[in-house]
Chains A and B, each alone.
Chain A
Amino acid sequence: VRGLALAIALIAGLSAPAQAQRTLGSPTDVKACMNCHEEQSVLGVFHTAHMTQGDPRTEVATQGCQNCHGASEEHMARPNDGGPRPPPEIVFTGVNASPVDARNRACIGCHEAGARIHWRGSQHETSDIACTDCHASHTVEDAVRVKATQGEVCFGCHAEQRAANLKPSHHPVGEGVMACSDCHNPHGSVGPNLLVAETVNDTCLNCHDEKRGPFLWEHAPVQEQCTICHTPHGSVQPSLLKIRAPYLCQTCHDSTLHNSQPFSGASIPGGQSPSRMMVLRACLNCHSEIHGSNHPSGIRFGR
């Protein structure tokens, strides 16, 4: 009996490693997943940070695919009735996608710090946007993290901005020179409209810092908010202006000197009384330092 028991024990012991490889959560299970999921769109994950088992910050070494997709016992099991295999515990895309909250919890477990510290309560989070609505975690080049392709991802929902970016005056997002994330943090921020900086002006001044000053002569709305005059995503007017000059200027300025007259077709070359305030840059032909002047004679932003 002792010999038989020992023999059984030995057999069991010898087979134990093979059985252990089948234990849910072992690295071998990743290969088990690959038995079915051998499409390129899945396999790309092996070339990403997500599947780097040596990273001590993650559980991927011990949990494999289940680290993100959940234990998924039913999915891993052979269907008893021969029916379709139930989906994994957490499905990120497609018709079987899990609830947004469940999907996002899988990501936030590791990715809630840094630029994502304000994710909870942000516009995207409360609008039930899933991380995987924008991100593709299985690809080497996640389109939304590549400057040249990020715009297309954002424009998929933001149709107004997509149209704006096609207008004659626009920031070069479509050309791949800029990315939406140069100005916006889609994961939440303390600034308005998910801006990366604390305020609208701080965001604009990241690139347009020649307008920061402080100047000797300040134009008050410039300091208050750039978007009082400009619309950032695109305009049919020059320089991303909301309204073209001189009419934009005349919404705030109507003074006794020269800027109170009605400019019309009579004011352009060929008209009855052509005006220097209607051609080229209109008011800015003379008041060209409209963002502020540091010249002692620049009070009217002309120097």
Chain B
Amino acid sequence: MSIIRVVPYLLVMMSAAVAQEDDFSIGEIPKPKEPPRVFASEIVAGAGYQSLDSFYFGRYGGVVDQGPFGFIAGSLNGRPLWDSGATRYWEADVLLNGPDRYAVSAAVGDQGSWRMAAFHDAFTRFVTESARTPFEGAGATRLTLPANWNSVSSSLAFNQLLPNLKPLELKTDWRTTGGEFVLAPKNGYELRIRMEQRQREGLKPHSLSFGPEANFPVGVFFPLPIEFTTNRLTASLAFVEQRYTWEASYSLHEFHDDDTSVLVQNPYARSLGLPWPGGAFAGFPFANAQYSTPPNSVAHRFALTGSYAVTPRTRVTARLSHTVQKQNEPFLPYSPTTQLVVRTPIPRNSLDGKVRKTFANIGLTSRDIDKTDFTASYTFDRRRNLSPIDLYNYIPGDSQDQVAPAVAGVSRYIRYNLPHSFDFQKVRAEAGYRPMTATRLSLAYTGDFKERDFQQVMHSNEHTITAKALTAFERASAWISASYVRRGGSDYEDAVAWDASHTTNYLNAGPQNQSIEYPLLFKYYLADRKRTEFKGGLTFDVSEQVAFSASAGRARDNYYKSLFGLRKSRSLIASADLSYALANVMTATAFYSYERYSFDQKGYYIFGTNLSNPNQEWTARNRDAVNSAGARIDWHAMPDKLKVTALYTLSDGSTDIDVAATAFTPLATVAPLPDVIAKTHHVGLEGEYRFKPDWSVLVGWVYEDHVTRDWAYNSVAIAPVAQILGSGIVSPHYSAHVLTLATKVAF
């Protein structure tokens, strides 16, 4: 080796050594240590005891029965040593809580190359165990009344009702199984395929009516079987590069219901008032209702998404998708009661329903100009319902022969279906200015433009201006925003849907007994309105240990052109949080929220033909008030040994409804309504004692007290009024305790 060739190397090494000497004194830096062991996996397994039977208490948790139960929760992770150069990994999670809540998932992959995952998730949505029914065959698609059923015209006179009541457990099992495969075959590309099947099985509280619409129809509760299967497939190919990305995807969403209908026997002989037009054949034992369950349907979606960085701080994004939704379930007959006369066949065997949806979005966001940012977007959302329109001579409530009008189409029961279509467009622009670091002032405009078919307001536009300011200091931050919204549009035409769904002959005939909407009532989601909204919040680090935050918001909607219907709504929300943290010893948080929602509406009691009698006007004010609170303490009572966690939450909600009217008929006489109340206290306490770094024991206690008072359910008999056969459902009221003992192993 020539010295001439060595010296430069020597100099470089020496200078490097000098430079290193500035940063690192070999003598002062301790010898590198191997990192202490960190646990990447853990399993908790144990048993518990629940003090009562309650569907509501365990409605998602998996345990609804009094007695013991077991549980396991585990998270397992396998990765090569971080510096080994290997990239293969695996993960697995397991959850079991009682008999009805379990989930498992597993994944294996080669980081940066591919990943495969599979999962199964199961929970039960418990509704109530208090329902009762006289029907036989719950869970099947044919519900019949017992042989000794004594049919009369009033629910109050069903003398075989109580002896024949059977308890029902209303719940739905949700079971989802799926998998995903991700492949990154070449740097930047990613192929992703995801499949999922969800099954829902159970019983749902449902109801239907018998009888003609204008002549004392009756409502009947029945258990609706749920036999749904959903299959989903999503496949996408994406490309990611520093400057641009794109993704092309296809998704298939198929819904299948094992049942097509539920046959429900009519328990009534006839109505309270006039006999049903179908006579004896409209009542027990001849008449049935065939209730349609949700039709099978399928949706295909193709989508393209992309983004392009014009500059490092300016980006354009775009998405375009097209969706086709189809439904072609064979129609049920107008009525399953064959004794009722059907003169006009159903115009089609099935709907051949088709909806085409087009969605487009393009956005621009930029921070290229110093201290400013700018965002703009345009969205187009079109729903075209291409389902055929036909005339249906329907039979209301399985209670009468089909009408045979003297003049074609002149019947209130002959109607066109109205497939709804709309075009929604939205433009949005927001500009932000940062006069200093961590302070931003912004102004945004949003315009919503809607066009609809067959609705009272064909065109509407809504303009929203929002101003916002946020700032942050070393120990505090604050933000405030104000919005003003104004919605207008075409004139409110109350008869649009009515006219479109009836024949010209019917409209020209000046039919009697039209159930047209009261012309001065405006549907609130279509009506002109003004909205003002103010929000604000702050955070303040009182000290290194204590932090405080609060937020509040108020919104007011004024449907200023609506003389009837919803006229005003208001909301007020305020929250405060306090937290305390002492490193490695304790963290404590507490919060309180208050919410108030108010809705003012006005109605007109249509009695007779007078549509302008002030005495027939009435008002109602709905007010919800909710207090929510919570606290949590995590206390390391013995460092690395004993940790105690305490938790408390409260939700205290009430609904107050005030109705005012002039008592010009018995039905217009009003009386105060009791408040609807729902209050839940939840307390949890858990102690974890660590015998070894990788092994601990956990002891837990949960207490929950729930009180509800709801005039729609409580003290409501199964036949509360003459025209309804109810469910017997009562709203829940309980105090529950749960004790648990578990061990946790980490590795």
Contacts and interface: CB of A to CB of B under 8 A. Distances in A.
Nearest to A21: B32
A254 B29 contact: no
Contacts of B230: 209
Contacts of A163: 573, 575, 593, 595, 626, 628, 651
Interface residues of A, number: 137
Contact of B379 (A166, A190, A237, A302): A190
Contact of A276 (B16, B351, B354, B721): B721
Contacts, number: 484
B40 interface: yes
Given A215-B353, A237-B655, A300-B396, A160 B245 contact: no
A166 B325 CA distance: 36
A181 interface: no
A166 B649 contact: yes
Contacts of B493: none
A118 interface: yes
B82 A53 contact: yes
5 contacts: A9-B1, A9-B9, A9-B10, A141-B75, A303-B289
Contacts of A38: 33, 35-36
Nearest to B721: A274
A137 to B, nearest CB: 14
Nearest to B649: A166
B473 interface: no
Closest 6 CB pairs of A and B: A121-B365, A159-B575, A286-B209, A265-B671, A262-B618, A236-B653
A49 to B, nearest CB: 6
Contacts of A93: none
A282 to B, nearest CB: 7
A294 B208 contact: no
Interface in A51-94: 51-57, 61, 73, 76-78
Interface residues of B, number: 204
B660 to A, nearest CB: 8
B525 A228 contact: yes
Contact of A286 (B9, B219, B307, B333): B219
Given A198-B359, A214-B354, A77 B22 contact: yes
B111 A52 contact: yes
B622 A128 contact: no
Contacts of A95: 474, 544
B463 interface: no
B381 A273 contact: no
Contacts of B317: 117-118, 190
B331 A294 contact: yes
Interface string B613-633: 000001010101010101000
B394 A299 contact: yes
B72 interface: no
B432 A159 contact: no
A251 B395 CA distance: 28
Contacts of B727: 280
B17 interface: yes
B221 A260 contact: no
Interface stretch (B159-167, B274-282, B512-520): B512-520
Given A160-B553, A272-B671, A126 B373 contact: yes
Which of A236, A270, A273, A274 has the most B CB atoms < 10 Å from its CB?
A236
B649 A53 contact: no
Given A207-B198, A255-B518, A303-B290, 14 more contacts: A44-B40, A46-B82, A121-B377, A128-B440, A166-B628, A166-B649, A168-B653, A209-B255, A252-B524, A260-B605, A272-B666, A279-B713, A293-B292, A294-B351
